[in-house]
């Protein structure tokens, strides 16, 4: 069995492609089992919880897929104050989480030094690991925040298909977006580095999804998030999807493809922290988290954004955004983890990846 596992781990693009088009349930069961056993032997049975706080929905970008895009004038904007963010950090710690994830649109109103003070306060006042997901900020900002104590940074490259990426993620101030370059920079600075992709973007080809998985391996990431693309009606891509009348069948395919990519990512990157993403649980509220966790994932990022802001972080339509909050919400997630025979992670849940010397 060990030799078999070793061979699978070194899957080439053709083998990845074969799995991506596989439809036979029995064969797919063997893929889920393999991903689950690799997950178990590499990152264990714990499911780490990261408290997600969406600190601002302002965004300078015009991404065609995202409801936060600047031209979406229908959206009421908010930016949390320092005290509100610190209060969330204390709540996150009280719930027993080891990590807070501070996420926002690409908001240049999040001023470098002021935000650096917020990071320092969280590090002084709690024992939380701090993960940032604030978009494509300058090298200087990223360095200052790392020196202030931020531990990790998430920046999805969204798709490895350059043409598709450029068409859905326009440049800002004439500067072409190069997220791969920023990911390498983040690693150089010292961050634990996370990235990921969306599955089911209009025009996304199966070959480019196989390239995404190869790219995860090449970048040797600490964290990898894979979620379905969910059309937002107030975005150009969402309108395009409405016109092409994407039917229910395409949602089923998108979900299955997302599970396959999670499983193949676990096989390609055995030590990575891989979340069962919120987008996955949004498309499959019934057992999206459970299936993700049983097919390779080992992390959940419960949304701890204060209820008065939650519904305004409208990246895609989601009924769950106005759902339970606080301890009820937390208890429910814990129960779901335990119901599938897993345990809730204790501590920061740092990366177990063995760092390559030459990145
Ligand atoms: N501004 C930061 C950035 O771009 O990395 C962080 C916030 S951004 C809203 C976080 C992630 O949301 C993106 O990387 C993208 O993968 C995801 N996202 C945005 N719109 C989405 C949609 N319509 N469906 C699924 N995921 C979406």
Query: What secondary structure does DSSP assign to 169-189, as a single string?
Result: S--BTTBPP-HHHHHHHHHHH
The length of the chain, given as a count of residues: 359
Which residue has its alpha carbon closest to ligand 1 atom 5? Answer: 135
Residue 182 confidence (pLDDT) above 90: yes
Q: Give, using CA atoms, the residue closest to atom 4 of ligand 1.
A: 135
What is the token pair recorded at 300? Answer: 């959940």
Average pLDDT over residues 269-282: 95
Angle (CA) 128 133 139, round 5°: 105
**Does the model's pTM come out above 0.85?**
yes
Is-contact 354 270, C-beta < 8 A? no
* Ligand 1 neighbours (beta carbon < 6 A): 65-66, 68, 103, 105-106, 133, 135, 155-156, 158, 198, 227, 229-230, 232, 279, 315-316
Region 78-98: mean pLDDT is 97
CB distance 131 to 101 below 8 Å: yes
Q: Which atom of ligand 1 is nearest to the CA of 231?
A: 23
241, pLDDT greater than 50:
yes
Across all residues in the chain, what is the average pLDDT?
92
Q: Which atom of ligand 1 is nearest to the CA of 107?
A: 1
| Range 244-250 average pLDDT | 63
Torsion of CA 330, 334, 335, 338, to 10 degrees: 180
Residue listed under structure tokens 């298909």: 161
Give the ligand 1 atom nearest the CA of 228.
Answer: 25
Which candidate, 171, 246, 142, 147, places its Cα nearest to that of 204? 246
Q: Residue 129 is encoded by which pair of tokens?
A: 């690991």
Residue with tokens 């490895």: 160
Report the pLDDT value the prediction gives residue 328, as an integer from 0 to 100: 81
**Joined tokens for residue 112:** 């470098």
Which residues pair with residue 194 across a beta bridge?
154, 223
Token pair 């701090």 is found at: 130
């Amino acid at each position: 069995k060990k030799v078999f596992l070793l061979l699978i781990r070194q899957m080439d693009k053709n083998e990845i492609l074969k799995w991506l088009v596989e439809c036979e349930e029995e064969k797919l069961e063997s893929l889920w089992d393999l991903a689950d056993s690799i997950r178990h032997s590499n990152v264990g049975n714990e499911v780490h919880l990261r408290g997600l706080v969406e600190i601002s929905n302002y965004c300078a970008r015009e991404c065609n897929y995202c409801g936060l895009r600047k031209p979406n004038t229908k959206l009421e904007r908010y930016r949390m104050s320092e005290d509100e963010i610190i209060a969330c950090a204390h709540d996150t710690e009280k719930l027993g989480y080891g990590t807070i994830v501070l996420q926002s649109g690409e908001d240049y109103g999040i001023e470098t030094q002021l935000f650096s003070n917020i990071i320092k306060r969280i590090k002084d006042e709690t024992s939380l690991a701090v993960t940032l997901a604030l978009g494509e900020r300058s090298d200087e900002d990223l360095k200052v925040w790392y020196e202030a104590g931020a531990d990790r940074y998430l920046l999805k490259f969204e798709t490895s298909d350059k043409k598709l990426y450029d068409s859905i993620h326009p440049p800002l101030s004439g500067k072409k977006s190069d997220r791969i370059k920023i990911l390498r920079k983040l690693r150089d600075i010292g961050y634990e580095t996370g990235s990921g992709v969306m599955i089911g973007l209009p025009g996304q080809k199966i070959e480019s999804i196989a390239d995404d998985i190869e790219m995860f391996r090449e970048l040797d990431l600490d964290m990898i998030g894979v979620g379905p693309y969910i059309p937002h009606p107030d975005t150009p891509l969402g309108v395009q999807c409405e016109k092409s009348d994407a039917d229910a069948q395409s949602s089923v395919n998108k979900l299955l493809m997302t599970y396959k990519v999670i499983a193949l990512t676990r096989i390609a990157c055995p030590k990575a922290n891989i979340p069962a993403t919120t987008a996955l649980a949004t498309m499959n509220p019934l057992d999206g988290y459970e299936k993700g966790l049983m097919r390779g994932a080992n992390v959940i990022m419960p949304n701890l954004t204060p209820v008065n802001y939650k519904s305004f972080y409208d990246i895609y339509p989601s009924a769950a955004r106005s759902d339970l909050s606080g301890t009820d919400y937390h208890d429910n997630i814990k129960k779901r983890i335990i119901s599938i025979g897993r345990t809730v992670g204790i501590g920061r849940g740092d990366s177990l990846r063995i760092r390559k010397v030459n990145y």
